[in-house]
């Protein structure tokens, strides 16, 4: 089977796959090791008419008016060593191309990052560290002491998909009370996870730390509103590693201006980065990170290794563990 690497940012191929994993793939299929981009395929369509397998990652071509699949008539399957496939997948599904994604591998560092932030938030780390650095140790100490700590604190998990469930799993060793908002979760599933299902309103009003992991679908756009943030407990923290679009940012900013006791730790915003004059850079109770929760540095190799496992299953005629269908895509981030 003829296979190629495809990404508009060709450097992503070496970054995510690496020489070792490229060698593994080459030992299993007829692999052209040259990374290609959309322009290459459009410029030389004859060269790619026999391609049956694509290996890709971030910057996978698609989502535009140009139907790239028209240039790949023999394509059967796409191995995507990254997370969300929403922007390009419909075109490939229309042509009957199967897609398997390393979404689950990318979920691991997001969950690990979120758990780290949750545990720090319960200690009042974010605001107390800034105050301590400014020289007011007494105030910093008192502020930290006013937080819940990591024993019997209430943790609100917004969205119990793959990442949300992993966060719940990683928090199990701690004695924490976990509340979950997820419209797809049944009471039976909640019991099996050892969590309490509740409404979004109940979660925001009761949790010491709120961590967002909702799927990025039209129904979740702006779902977390001003009134939710206004209802947060004293000294509570909101953490967002999901998507900025799920937050009514104007409403959240209004509340954060009025309530210096609550804190928002944001790895994502609607506009990334926010405009230079944005309130995100001005308010002291907002902590910004540059969208780093997902796979980075050595973590990215986990994604390509997962795709190699999927390739082995595909070539053996076995079930693919991480194949995504059009129906599943509608519920995913």
Distance CA 22, CA 41 (A): 21
Domain count, the chain: 2
Does 158 share its domain with 21?
A: no
Spatial contact of 264 and 285, defined as CB atoms under 8 Å apart: yes
Does 220 share its domain with 252?
A: yes
Instruction: Give the max Cα distance, the chain.
Output: 71
pLDDT (0 to 100) of residue 83: 86
pLDDT of 84 above 90: no
Mean pLDDT of all residues belonging to the chain: 95
CATH code of the domain containing 187:
3.40.50.720
Does 317 share its domain with 191?
A: no
DSSP string of 58-93?
Answer: TT-S-SSSS-GGGG-TT--EEEE-SS--TTTHHHHH
Does 237 share its domain with 273?
A: yes
State percent of the chain over pLDDT 70.
99
pLDDT of 330 above 80: no
Distance CA 92, CA 244 (A): 27
Domain coverage including residue 31: 2-101+297-329
Does 97 share its domain with 120?
A: no
Spatial contact of 210 and 238, defined as CB atoms under 8 Å apart: yes
Does 273 share its domain with 215?
A: yes
Could you tell me which residues are beta bridge partners of residue 78? 54, 99
Nearest CA to 124 among 7, 2, 287?
287
For the stretch 196-242, pLDDT in tens is 999 999 999 999 999 999 988 889 999 999 999 999 999 999 999 99
> For the residues 66-87, what does the mean pLDDT come to?
92
Does 8 share its domain with 83?
A: yes
Does 187 share its domain with 257?
A: yes
**Residue 155 Cα distances to 151, 164, 172, 217, angstroms:** 11, 12, 12, 24
Does 189 share its domain with 314?
A: no
């Amino acid at each position: 089977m003829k296979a190629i690497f495809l990404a508009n940012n060709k450097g992503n191929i070496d970054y995510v796959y690496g020489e070792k994993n490229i060698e593994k793939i080459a030992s299993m299929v007829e692999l052209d090791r040259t990374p290609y981009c959309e322009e290459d395929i459009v410029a030389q369509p004859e060269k790619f008419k026999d391609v049956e397998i694509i290996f890709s990652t971030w910057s996978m071509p698609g989502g535009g008016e140009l139907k790239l699949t028209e240039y790949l008539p023999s394509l059967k399957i796409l191995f995507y060593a990254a997370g969300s496939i929403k922007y390009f997948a419909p075109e490939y599904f229309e042509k009957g191309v199967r897609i398997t994604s390393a979404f689950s591998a990318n979920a691991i560092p997001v969950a690990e990052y979120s758990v780290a932030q949750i545990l720090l938030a319960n200690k009042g780390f974010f605001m107390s560290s800034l105050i301590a650095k400014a020289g007011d140790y007494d105030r910093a100490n008192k502020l930290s002491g006013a937080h819940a700590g990591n024993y019997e604190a209430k943790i609100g998990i917004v969205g119990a998909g793959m990442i949300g469930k992993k966060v719940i799993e990683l928090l199990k060793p701690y004695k924490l009370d976990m509340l979950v908002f997820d419209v797809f979760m049944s009471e039976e599933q909640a019991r099996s996870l050892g969590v309490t299902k509740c409404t979004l309103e109940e979660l925001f009003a009761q949790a010491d730390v709120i961590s967002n992991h909702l799927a990025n679908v039209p129904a979740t756009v702006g779902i977390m509103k001003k009134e939710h943030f206004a209802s947060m407990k004293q000294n509570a923290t909101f953490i967002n590693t999901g998507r900025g679009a799920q937050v009514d940012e104007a409403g959240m900013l209004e509340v954060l201006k009025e309530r210096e006791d609550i804190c928002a730790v944001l790895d994502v915003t609607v506009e990334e980065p926010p405009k230079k004059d944005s309130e995100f850079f001005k308010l002291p109770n907002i902590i910004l990170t540059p969208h780093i929760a997902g796979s980075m540095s050595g973590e990215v190799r986990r994604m390509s290794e997962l795709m190699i496992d999927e390739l082995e299953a595909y070539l053996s005629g076995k079930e693919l563990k991480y194949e995504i269908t059009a129906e599943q895509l509608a519920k995913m981030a």
